[in-house]
Chain A
Amino acid sequence: GENVEQHPSTLSVQEGDSAVIKCTYSDSASNYFPWYKQELGKRPQLIIDIRSNVGEKKDQRIAVTLNKTAKHFSLHITETQPEDSAVYFCAANPQGGSEKLVFGKGMKLTVNP
């Protein structure tokens, strides 16, 4: 089945720095790759997603890149702010059409003021 690996597991940056979170997946048929943000004590919420027909997508300070050949995708956050501190989860859909999302173990980002 689909295996989604996420690294690093924790990252600490200074406010204003950039942060990059990387994920790899195993199922070459996967075609949908969302990123969810979970603030402490809150529910996970979608922040950005990308489909396999594009290589990059941007939304203000966040961007996601996808390399289908290498089966990895990354989340980039620029000009980090303390409110970006949270756990970030990547996910992929196995078999490319299934409604199921397989999530990575998450990365805890801390932005120090």
Chain B
Amino acid sequence: GAGVSQSPSNKVTEKGKDVELRCDPISGHTALYWYRQSLGQGLEFLIYFQGNSAPDKSGLPSDRFSAERTGGSVSTLTIQRTQQEDSAVYLCASSSRGTNSGELFFGEGSRLTVL
């Protein structure tokens, strides 16, 4: 597609349930990022992929959070045993630059609400 695609756009779940958020980056972009945006907060870094490997997962808040990327393309962010504080917009971004910083192209985000 022309841009970064994320699904679902909206997800409402009950506390304790697992959720999966999907990101389809721009074709050919080797770098993929997950950020979290809580109400009134900035963009909180979660994890970064270069190809299928994750050189930096330092932002994952707890071991309930995990992410994978397959085929150097689609990525899935999984949150197990969701808590109310997990409610936020989860933004995915991709970039074509390898080892040099360049523009991040963001998706529209997945809004997660944990009841």
Contact = CB atoms under 8 A, between A and B. Distances in A.
A19 to B, nearest CB: 19
B101 A43 contact: no
A85 interface: no
Interface stretch (B11-19, B62-70, B75-83, B104-112): B104-112
Given A34-B103, A43-B106, A44-B106, A99 B91 contact: no
Given A43-B91, A93-B101, A103 B106 contact: no
A99 B41 contact: no
Most B Cβ at <10 Å: residue of A6, A42, A101, A106 = A101
Contacts, number: 57
Contacts of A93: 101
Contact of A103 (B31, B43, B108): B43
A46 interface: yes
Contacts of A103: 35, 42-45
- The A interface is mostly helix, strand or loop, or mixed, namely loop
Contact of B48 (A43, A91, A99): A99
Interface string B37-74: 00001111100101000011010000000000000000
Interface of A: 1, 6, 32, 34, 36, 42-46, 49, 89, 91, 93, 97-106
A101 B101 contact: yes
A99 B106 contact: no
B103 A46 contact: yes
A101 B33 CA distance: 10
A15 B15 CA distance: 45
B91 A101 contact: no
30 contacts: A1-B58, A32-B101, A34-B101, A34-B103, A36-B104, A42-B108, A43-B91, A43-B106, A43-B109, A44-B91, A44-B106, A46-B103, A46-B104, A49-B103, A93-B101, A97-B99, A99-B31, A99-B33, A99-B55, A100-B56, A101-B33, A101-B45, A101-B101, A101-B104, A103-B42, A103-B43, A103-B44, A103-B45, A105-B42, A106-B43
